[in-house]
Amino acid sequence: MIDTIIFDLDGVLINSKNIHFESLNRALSDNKLKYQISYEDHLKNFDGLPTIKKLEILNKKKLVPKKLNKKIKLKKNQLTRKLLKKNLIFDKKIYSLFQKLSKKYKIGIATNAIEETLQIAIKKLKIGKFVKFGISTENIKNSKPHPEIYLRSIVNLNSKPKNTLVLEDSHNGRISAKEAG
């Protein structure tokens, strides 16, 4: 019997695909790189991955010098923060859903986004009192598609994999959830 629901953040609770796409391309441009990721490539190859993993892919393809990774990541995070604060708004439907679900289920959020993004979203959506556990990519060693994030969530929510429903939108997230049982 399901007693726990764990939500992904990006693409499930907030529509941030465009924010991550725009902020990464702007960070590349701000670092004087001519390469820009196409939206199709973003959705196909980068969706749901932490920024560092995206940059490692670009490093391997020789599109971004590795020495710029830290600088690009910092700029991308800064731009993402700014866009989230500007564009995320309270959603009464999400609030009502969390209010209803929290009466019967333990609720968690597990995201490949950074902790700051998770906290901004929880605050803007006003769902903090319903979320029993939240975890970001900064609190794990292995990001999605590795199952660590969901296994840690299940343990912290005092549940079992067979009693947990995961709501995911990305391929990497679904692999992570499935591998966690």
* pLDDT at residue 132, rounded to an integer: 98
**% of the chain beyond a pLDDT of 70:** 100
Give the tokens for residue 98.
């969390």
Q: How far is the CA of 96 from the CAs of 125, 132, 142, 146, in angstroms?
A: 11, 16, 33, 31
pTM of the model: 0.87
Residue 33 has a pLDDT of 93
The 10s digit of each residue's pLDDT in 8-21 is 999 899 988 899 99
Write the pLDDT tens digit of every residue in 61-76. Answer: 999 999 999 999 999 9
Q: What is the DSSP letter of 138?
A: G
Percent of the chain with pLDDT over 90: 87
Q: Above 90 in pLDDT, residue 47?
A: no
Mean pLDDT of 147-163: 98
